[in-house]
Amino acid sequence: MPTSLLLSISVKYWQDFQDTLAKVMDANIYIFDVNGGSFSLFSLPVELCQEVNKGRVLRDEKCISFYKSTLDSLEDKDMLTCPYGLKLCAYRLGTYAQKIGFLVVTPTRLTTLVGREEENTFATKAHSIYRTINEVLQAILEKNLLGLRRLELNSIYEISRLMTSIVELDKVLDLITNSLIIIYQAELCFVGLREGDKIRVAQAKGEHGHLLIGKEWPLVQPLIEQVFSKVEPSFLSLEELRTLPGLTGVEVAPETEILVYPLWTALGAVGLLGIVAPVSLDDNSSRNLQIYANFAAVALANATLIHRLEREAETDFLTGLLNKRALRNLLVTELERTTRYGTPLSVIFLDIDDFKAYNDTFGHVAGDVVLQKTAEIIKNSIRIVDTACRYGGEEFVIILPGTKGEGAARVAERIRKSIETYPFPHRQVTASLGVASAKKNDSVDSLFARADQACYQAKRQGKNRLCLNPS
């Protein structure tokens, strides 16, 4: 927690309390923040103070510098004399572990204490005031901390719920980065996911966050290696952080804490979580953040795994093209678009000629090479908006949105020629292609059937050619 938490207290409400206490105890009270700056106004009129400072606010340079230097070196408590001769008792507020601020108590009427007895009476009174104020501040601090703990726990609860409810990787990444920025007021928060031998920044929020997304850090990069050499977070200096590509020019406020958590699960490293926060975390916050990072690791591992499975379920392993199932889903969407906006849509059906004979003669490994090379030729012959799929066996389908039959025929001819001239091992390979364009009220099956029919016609006409479905 920030040591200046005291400043989160409403000065107005505090002043009311301080003034009442001062009145009851018949003593003047001043509160300073941890840096020795004024927090509240003088509680009761002390003529000397008011004269020097022209009111209830500390303005006089001599006073300001006296309190700053005195409070800076104050161990616990002390009886001092101000530059204008005012006797005062000064106390440090808070605990040894956490300084909250400082309390100064002065007599209201007698500015200089004469005689030992008078001094002792005042010291006792000042000590009572100190105990009351310190306890009230501790209680407020505890209440504030409880609020923060509640935020942290709510967030941990949400991320743990994610593991069973949300599987979309983007949503998980968003929730992790959002929560940390909200709870810890982080200037920057980023999540890098492991992709083979590198970490790729999948989400980053806060100052300059958008510049980080997509940046890649090799696992052998010294800093990344250091992060993954342990289970605990790494506390980095700004210079160390700047060694990461994408963060070379990053600036952070002084006193900022930079932590990078390696995200581990039973399956190994999932990625890393970086947080640049303007507060130093106490033990409880560090522990909560570690729990959060652990849950985040599992949630990310689940989401990444599901994302990969979904992608694999739609991909043909041999060629890397979409498979039949994905093709059907895609074509449904494209047909809906065609119906709604009236844009053309064409489909090419491609069948490698005499593939069975090639396979039987030269073996399945050689057959696989033909399939892979054909897929590569198709990919290189179409636009980014077009999609190629392996339909099954030696059959391929190409979807061409926004393309009329004639345009699709030109693409089909380009592919046919490329296959015909490609130096496949063992012998020349050719393909027959059928082209069909979507009609009103076409379904996936009817459009396919026409493209297939055109391809069959090309086969019947002697192979190594293309046919355009006339309708």
Partner 1 sequence: MSEIVEKQVERYENLLREMWTASAKYLGILSANLLVERVVWEVSMEYQEIELLQYDQNGISCARIAASLEENPDLPVEDMFMKFITRYVAILAKLLGHERTEEIRKRLKEEFATIPFASREE
- The span of 116-124, 154-162, 346-354, 414-422 binding partner 1 (CB under 8 A) equals 154-162
Does the CA dihedral 97-98-101-107 come out positive or negative?
A: negative
- Residue of 58, 93, 129, 183 that binds partner 1 (CB under 8 A): 183
- The span of 72-80, 144-152, 293-301, 330-338 binding partner 1 (CB under 8 A) equals 144-152
Distance CA 426, CA 358 (A): 9
Distance CA 44, CA 54 (A): 14
Residue 155 lies near partner 1 (rule: CB under 8 A): yes
- Residue of 109, 210, 308, 404 that binds partner 1 (CB under 8 A): 210
Distance CA 316, CA 319 (A): 6
Burial class, 324, CB count within 10 angstroms (exposed 0-12 / middle 13-18 / buried 19+): middle
Does the CA dihedral 380-384-386-392 come out positive or negative?
A: positive
Residue 226 lies near partner 1 (rule: CB under 8 A): no
- Residue of 97, 101, 148, 450 that binds partner 1 (CB under 8 A): 148
- Residue of 185, 380, 443, 446 that binds partner 1 (CB under 8 A): 185
- The span of 174-182, 267-275, 333-341, 427-435 binding partner 1 (CB under 8 A) equals 174-182
Token pair 């507020």 is at which residue?
93
| Helical pair 405-421 and 364-381, crossing angle rounded to 10 deg | 140
Smallest distance, partner 1 to C-beta of residue 346, A = 37
- Residue of 57, 153, 182, 267 that binds partner 1 (CB under 8 A): 182
Residue 171 lies near partner 1 (rule: CB under 8 A): yes
Binding-site size, partner 1 (CB under 8 A) = 30
Nearer to partner 1, 8 or 461 (CB): 8
H/E segment holding residue 56 = none
Distance CA 130, CA 78 (A): 12
- Residue of 36, 94, 192, 206 that binds partner 1 (CB under 8 A): 206
Residue 413 lies near partner 1 (rule: CB under 8 A): no
Distance CA 147, CA 141 (A): 10
List Cα–Cα distances, 94 to 5, 64, 101, in angstroms: 11, 22, 7
Smallest distance, partner 1 to C-beta of residue 314, A = 26
Active site residue 118: no
Residue 9 lies near partner 1 (rule: CB under 8 A): yes
- The span of 68-76, 92-100, 185-193, 404-412 binding partner 1 (CB under 8 A) equals 185-193
Nearer to partner 1, 176 or 431 (CB): 176
- Residue of 62, 109, 131, 150 that binds partner 1 (CB under 8 A): 150
Contacts of 372 (CB under 8 A, 6+ apart): 318, 319
Distance CA 35, CA 99 (A): 10
Smallest distance, partner 1 to C-beta of residue 180, A = 10
| Per annotation, catalytic residue among 216, 394, 395, 413 | 394
- Residue of 3, 4, 138, 178 that binds partner 1 (CB under 8 A): 178
Residue 154 lies near partner 1 (rule: CB under 8 A): yes
List Cα–Cα distances, 183 to 173, 179, 186, 253, in angstroms: 16, 6, 8, 18
Residue 354 lies near partner 1 (rule: CB under 8 A): no
Tokens of 286: 């560090």
Smallest distance, partner 1 to C-beta of residue 109, A = 34
End-to-end CA distance of the chain: 73
List Cα–Cα distances, 91 to 17, 59, 122, 239, in angstroms: 18, 21, 14, 38
Q: Which of 244, 239, 2, 237 is nearest to 100 (CA)?
A: 2
Q: Which amino acid is at 291?
A: I
* Residues classed as catalytic: 394
Q: Which residues bind partner 1 (CB under 8 A)?
A: 8-10, 12-13, 140, 144, 147-148, 150-151, 154-155, 158, 171, 174-175, 178-179, 181-183, 185-187, 205-207, 209-210
